[in-house]
């Protein structure tokens, strides 16, 4: 929670909108018609525009950067410790397998020193 953006997703209007009814369970039976008359399956429709996604990603990166740059600061650590008490009921984080795969693909072979 401490690293998630407080405004981007919570203030994103399409995220707050009405969820359509689906009888198939996968939304393949829900359609959207745009202003040009194009009919699209709900799952093919973009629900966030590029500007909103860019803002969201910048906020996440800035939060993570701030977190890492301040993790050794005692005052920041005290604030973080209060969050840790709350986080005991959250799901455990997982390592991102896709990122780990990219890292392992780009590793240089061991070279003698």
Residue 112 counted as domain residue: no
Distance in angstroms (rounded) separating the CA atoms of residues 1 and 86: 10
pLDDT at 78: 86
In a domain, 28, yes or no: yes
Contact (Cβ atoms closer than 8 angstroms) between residue 8 and residue 56: yes
**Would you say residue 32 has pLDDT above 70?**
yes
Is residue 107 assigned to a domain?
Answer: no
- Separation in Å, CA 96 to CA 54, 68, 105: 21, 18, 14
In a domain? residue 109: no
Q: Would residue 92 count as lying in a domain?
A: no
Q: Tell me which residue range forms the domain holding 34.
A: 1-85
In a domain, 103, yes or no: no
Per-residue pLDDT of 50-60, as tens digits, reads 888 898 899 99
Task: Report if residue 36 sits inside a domain.
Answer: yes
CB 39 within 8 A of CB 6: no
The count of domains in the chain is 1
- Band (pLDDT 50/70/90 cuts) for residue 30 is very high
Q: What is the pTM of this model?
A: 0.54
Side-chain-side CA neighbours of 40 within 13 Å: the count stands at: 13
More confident site: 6 or 49: 49
For residues 59 and 7, the answer to whether their CB atoms sit within 8 Å is yes
Does 47 fall in a domain?
yes
Strands (E), the chain: 31-33, 39-41
């Amino acid at each position: 929670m401490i690293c998630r953006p407080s405004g981007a997703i919570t203030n994103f209007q399409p995220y707050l909108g009405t969820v359509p009814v689906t009888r198939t369970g996968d939304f393949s039976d829900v359609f959207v018609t745009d202003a040009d008359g194009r009919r699209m399956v709900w799952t093919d429709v973009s629900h966030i525009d590029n500007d909103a996604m860019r803002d969201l990603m910048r906020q996440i990166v800035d939060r993570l950067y701030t977190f890492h740059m301040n993790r050794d600061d005692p005052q920041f650590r005290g604030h973080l410790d209060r969050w840790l008490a709350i986080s005991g009921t959250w799901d455990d984080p997982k390592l991102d397998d896709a990122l780990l795969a990219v890292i392992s693909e780009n590793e240089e072979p061991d070279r003698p020193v």
